[in-house]
Structure formats: structure tokens, C-alpha cells
A and B are shown apart, each in its own frame.
Chain A
Amino acid sequence: MLGSASSISVPQYLEVASGTGNASATDQTTFGPITRLGGSVSQATINTTNDTFRCSATYNADTSIAITNIGLFSSNSNPPVGSIASQVNLNSTMINILGYNNFPNNSWPFNIQIGSEVMTVISGNGTNTWNVIRAVNGSTLTLNPIPIGTEVVGASGTSNGNMYVKSSFAPIYLDAGSSVEFVVNLQFV
């Protein structure tokens, strides 16, 4: 399972994040990503020998922060992040974004996630205006207007790569100088 070299990636990078939201199977990235950590990967035994994939990583806080969710990725590159520049209404398929140049430039399609809604960016004009398909990957359309300043995170098709596991939980509050080690166990039963 975790032996010699291979061309297929193992989800061994753990991203810690501080945004709000409940993890969903339709998510493609974390809420409010902070950073992505190289994890330590091993096999473990819970019931049957080597039935568990384990990935652990430690985040060291240099300022006070609340960790609210984590994700496991096969890529160590952080996702592109921007924010909504103009309110996005229920039926809008065009969005304006700040930080658009953090995302693939004129290379379509790629996905973004705003809150829990995943959108596919299908075209743009090379500036801050994108045309999107709303509520893809089985995600739920955001019914309320999406306000200015809402975070936009790059998802599949960007440097985000593919997320394989995500979890949201009650905030873990860290002060500067403290740390948290996450141990993710994925048992095949």
C-alpha cells in the first residue's frame, strides 16, 4: 500500500484551515486555508494487519488562531485564493473577483469553491470577470446573495489539486507558540 516508488500520488499533505462551514462530500477544498503541511504517512493496524492509512502532521501557531477544518491532498501546493468583488446573486453566472491573477489565467475550465458551493469557471476576459457554472460537483446552490469580500478558493483544476479527505470540527484554539498534531486514520474495513 505504501511501499516503493510510484507515479500515483498519495494524499499525504494536510491542510489546516480556519474558515466556517460544515464539511461535505461535495467539497473540493477547505474553508479558509492557512497552509499545507507535509504529513508523515504510515500503515497502522486497528482490526486487521495494516488495515489503516495514517497521516499525521503538526501545525505550529505563530499567532492566535482557531483551526476549524482540515483536508488531505496529494499536492503540497497551496490553493489560489481571492475574494468576491461584487455581490453574487442567486441566478448570477458572472462573478467579479479580487485576486484573479492568483488563479489560472485564461486557462479554462477550473473549479472554485465559495463557501460550500463549487463552481466551474468556464471563461473570462483575462481580468476580474469570470463566467461560471453554479453548483457543480453535486454542491448546493447558494440561495442568499454572496457578499463582497467572501473568500474564493481554487479547487480542482488549480494548484489546489485533489482533496481526498476533509473534516470540520469544533474550533481548536491555539495561541502563539502552541501547536497541534493531527492524526488522520483511514481504515479500510
Chain B
Amino acid sequence: MFFSPVKLTVEAVITRSDGTKEYVSAIDLSEKVNIEENDFNTNVPSQE
């Protein structure tokens, strides 16, 4: 069962060996999101 709907974004920060940084934002990668109902509600405190 899928949660509905989800939006996936990924960012990458590259740190070169000389210390310079490169930012790669919003990599296009929404090909797969396979989240099931219980994956993210594990730790929700009881609502009793």
C-alpha cells in the first residue's frame, strides 16, 4: 500500500579533495518511491 502522494527530491554536495564544494540540487529521481503504509508511522506516539 502506498502512501499518497509523495514528492522525492535529492540533493548532493560534493567536497573535492582540494576542499572546494559543488552543489547538485534537485537531482531528477522520482522514478521509484516504494513506501508502504507502516514504514513511517512506526514511532508515532499512541493517540489514545
Q: Do A and B come from one complex?
A: yes
Residues of A that sit less than 8 Å from B by CB: 1-11, 22-25, 27, 53, 70, 74, 163-169, 172, 174-189
Q: A23-B31, A25-B32, A184-B10 are in contact. List 12 more A-B contacts (CB 8 A).
A: A5-B43, A9-B42, A10-B40, A53-B40, A164-B34, A165-B33, A167-B8, A184-B8, A184-B9, A186-B8, A187-B6, A187-B8
- Expressed in whole angstroms, the Cα–Cα distance for A164 and B35 within the complex equals 6
The total number of A-B Cβ pairs within 8 Å is 120
A181 cross-chain contacts in B, Cβ below 8 A: 12-13, 15
Residues of B that sit less than 8 Å from A by CB: 3, 5-17, 24, 27-36, 38-45
Contacting A183 at CB < 8 Å: which of B6, B11, B14? B11
User: Could you tell me the dominant secondary structure of chain B's interface residues?
Assistant: loop
Q: List 12 A-B contacts (CB under 8 A).
A: A3-B43, A7-B42, A163-B34, A164-B35, A165-B34, A166-B32, A172-B12, A180-B12, A181-B13, A186-B8, A186-B33, A189-B5
